[in-house]
Structure 1
Amino acid sequence: MRWLMLALLPLTAAYPAAAQDLSVDPDTVHACLKDATGVLPDCIGDAAKACQSQPGGETTPGISACLQGEAQVWDDLLNAQYKGARARMLAQGGTDLADQLLEAQRAWIAFRDADCGLTYAVWGAGSIRTVMASDCYLHKTAQRALELRDLGNME
Structure 2
Amino acid sequence: MTISITKTLAMKGILGPSVLAAGLIAGAAAGAEPVFTPTATEACVNEAYRTSPGLSGHAVLDCVGRAAGACMMTPGGDTTVGMMVCLDGELGYWDARLNAAYAGRIAVAREQDAEMREIGSAASSIEESLRAMQRAWIPFRDASCLYEQAQWMGGTGGGPATLACHMHETARQALKLEGWWGQ
TM-score relative to the length of structure 1: 0.82
> Aligned in 2, Cα 1:110/1:35: closer, same or farther, shift over 3 Å?
farther
SS in 2 for 1:55: coil
The structure that has the greater radius of gyration is 2
Structure 2: distance between partners of 1:107 and 1:132: 22
Whether 1:26 aligns to 2:38 is: yes
Q: Percent identity?
A: 36
1:94-143 superposed Cα distances (whole Å, 9 cap, x missing partner): 49111110110010011001110121123111111112111111111101
**Matches of 1:93 and 1:20 in 2, distance apart?**
52
C-alpha separation between the residues in 1 aligned to 2:177 and 2:66?
A: 21
Work out whether residues 56 and 62 of structure 1, in 8 Å CA contact, stay in contact via their aligned partners in 2.
yes
Return the offset for 1:8. Answer: 6.7
Question: Which of 123, 132, 143 is residue 114 of structure 1 equivalent to?
Answer: 143
Q: 1:98 to 1:42 in 2, by over 3 A?
A: same
Equivalent residues of 1:120, 1:129 under 8 A apart: yes
Report the number of matched residues.
154
Q: How is 1:1-155 mapped onto 2 (pairs within 5 angstroms)?
A: 1=5, 3-4=8-9, 6=11, 7=15, 10-11=20-21, 13-17=24-28, 21-36=33-48, 37=55, 38=57, 40-94=60-114, 96-150=125-179, 154=183
- Supply the RMSD in Å over aligned alpha carbons: 2.8
Per-residue CA distance 1:36-93 (angstroms, 9 max, x = gap):
3445521111100110111011223222221121111111111111101111222223
Name stretches of at least 5 consecutive residues in structure 2 with no aligned partner. 49-54, 115-123
